[in-house]
Amino acid sequence: SMPTIMMYKKGIEGMPPSTTGTYILPPILYPDGKYYLKIGPMGHQRNSEITTLQEAKEWYSEPGDPEVMEKMPKLIFKIIPSQSPISASSRRLLVGDY
């Protein structure tokens, strides 16, 4: 089994300059029978306050960042050389403050 990986580091080679780190979650088996590994940058996204369901729907309807989408699979190979993604896709994420 693979642990969650969180790397706090500015100036990760090949990542957008505003990135302050990255996270990689272990592969998860989904109902479609496939495993998905989630990875994303930290500190790269804009901070905004979403206060309504409509704002959340609008946030999720926007496409992911193409620069991050291009660079994340390459970063997986650098951190975990034995992982070989078959394909990659991008989705948005909401993080809440408590």
**pLDDT value at residue 45:** 62
Q: Output 48-56 pairs: Cβ under 8 A, ≥24 positions apart.
A: 50/94, 56/94
**pLDDT value at residue 46:** 61
- Looking at the DSSP assignment, which residues form a beta bridge with residue 4? none
pLDDT higher than threshold 70 for residue 26: yes
Domain count along the chain: 1
3-21 pLDDT, tens per residue?
Answer: 888 888 776 776 777 778 8
pLDDT higher than threshold 80 for residue 85: no
**pLDDT value at residue 30:** 92
Report the pLDDT averaged over residues 57-81: 80
- Its domain, for residue 59, covers 1-97
Question: Quick one: 92 exposed, middle or buried, by C-beta within 10 A (0-12, 13-18, 19+)?
Answer: middle
